[in-house]
Structure 1
């Protein structure tokens, strides 16, 4: 598994490279924004670990430019910025997961492997469309943001992760177990029922969008347009 680590702290970068290499990753590391973009485009990694505070271009700028160039590699943001606002900015810019510093290396590895598993295409599958429209909602697959009538929706990171999982197959049921893995990746201490809380809050935000979140007992959840 090829991994690009973008981290300007030399000591942390060296630790990540050494540890992840021992765990079977082929790791390339860079320490600034422009180098990250160049290596990302040239190397086609399986996943990117991206710090937000970088010289040259910050992590959000790197992410936005990469998505604008069509680079769809799954991205895990790794940063000392731990506020909800920063997490929302990162996820809306196109990140797939977020791990605040300090972090556990076992959790980092688990999240990276989960990201790569989720992004792997099914054999023979056609490439997904660049955007998905359902009701008044549009999901920009390249950028990761979800728009309501052209305006970005204000969603928490977990609500956004749930929407991403459901919009991957609109109109089809997605099992609770799979949704839990994507909304709470590597969070073993979280109770399974927590996915119901996220679904409840998201359902309220979808009111009057022409889209409803449906609970299917024994199957999971699905998104569908309201006729």
Structure 2
């Protein structure tokens, strides 16, 4: 899953980036409102963490512009402002959640997991498709109760496929959500990771839909 982190305080931005990366997210960091407005409008993020007190363009204005332009990415506002009217203004501008500084990193991660689940119509923190299961809180995957040993990239790939279980996901979409904005994966990279992940899942769990992409299935269509 790919996160846009908008925070102008360098030490906090670095700490949050480390927290998110340890939790398995791919993170792009920007430090001013104008760049955030542009990047959030053109890149396909799964969730955005947005500070309100930004240079060049304040966070509330950034959020209002995104929503006016049709950007539907879930947004969690991160700010030192704790007055109730600031929270109301943020929610009315289109924020999906609000977290006041200081906060614990685990609370931020829990809120982001919930936002991503809701965006995909999922309620429980444990995702499953057939015998394949992933606990998004612990990042532990299993097949029929047997723990899987996955690399960080395989885990990101499985998580994205589980969030879109039963749907066809294009190679380009996978690349956009599994790599940071400055990364340039070659055309074969996704195929390599799909092949590696397939070897660890039940036969036929990942279908190739010719000319379109891949689909994670529960095996009900297989004999």
2:76 alignment partner in structure 1? 76
Larger RCO, structures 1/2 (Cα 8 Å, 6+ apart): 2
Consecutive unaligned residues of structure 1, counting only runs of 5 or more, are: 123-227
Q: For 2:22 and 2:53, how far apart are their aligned partners in 1?
A: 26
Q: For 2:35 and 2:44, how far apart are their aligned partners in 1?
A: 14
Q: For 1:13 and 1:7, how far apart are their aligned partners in 2?
A: 6
Taking the TM superposition and a 5 Å limit, the aligned residue runs for 1:40-189 are 40-121=40-121
**1:64-116 residue CA offsets vs partner (Å, 9 max, x unmatched):** 00001100000000000001000000000000000000001000000001001
Moved over 3 A (4+): none
Q: For 2:40 and 2:85, how far apart are their aligned partners in 1?
A: 26
Shift of 1:121: 5.0
Shift of 1:41: 1.6
1:20 alignment partner in structure 2? 20
Q: For 1:84 and 1:32, how far apart are their aligned partners in 2?
A: 25
Q: For 1:43 and 1:90, how far apart are their aligned partners in 2?
A: 22
Q: For 1:120 and 1:35, how far apart are their aligned partners in 2?
A: 27
Q: For 2:65 and 2:7, how far apart are their aligned partners in 1?
A: 17
1:39 alignment partner in structure 2? 39
1:9 alignment partner in structure 2? 9
Q: For 2:28 and 2:35, how far apart are their aligned partners in 1?
A: 11
Q: For 1:37 and 1:121, how far apart are their aligned partners in 2?
A: 26
Q: For 1:61 and 1:112, how far apart are their aligned partners in 2?
A: 22
Q: For 1:121 and 1:106, how far apart are their aligned partners in 2?
A: 22
Using structure 1 for the length normalisation, give the TM-score: 0.53
Q: For 1:55 and 1:62, how far apart are their aligned partners in 2?
A: 11
Shift of 1:47: 0.4
Q: For 1:56 and 1:119, how far apart are their aligned partners in 2?
A: 30
**1:95-142 residue CA offsets vs partner (Å, 9 max, x unmatched):** 0000000001000000001001001158xxxxxxxxxxxxxxxxxxxx
Shift of 1:42: 2.1
Using structure 2 for the length normalisation, give the TM-score: 0.54
Q: For 2:100 and 2:27, how far apart are their aligned partners in 1?
A: 20
Q: For 2:44 and 2:33, how far apart are their aligned partners in 1?
A: 16
Q: For 1:121 and 1:68, how far apart are their aligned partners in 2?
A: 23
Q: For 2:110 and 2:75, how far apart are their aligned partners in 1?
A: 14
Q: For 1:4 and 1:121, how far apart are their aligned partners in 2?
A: 21
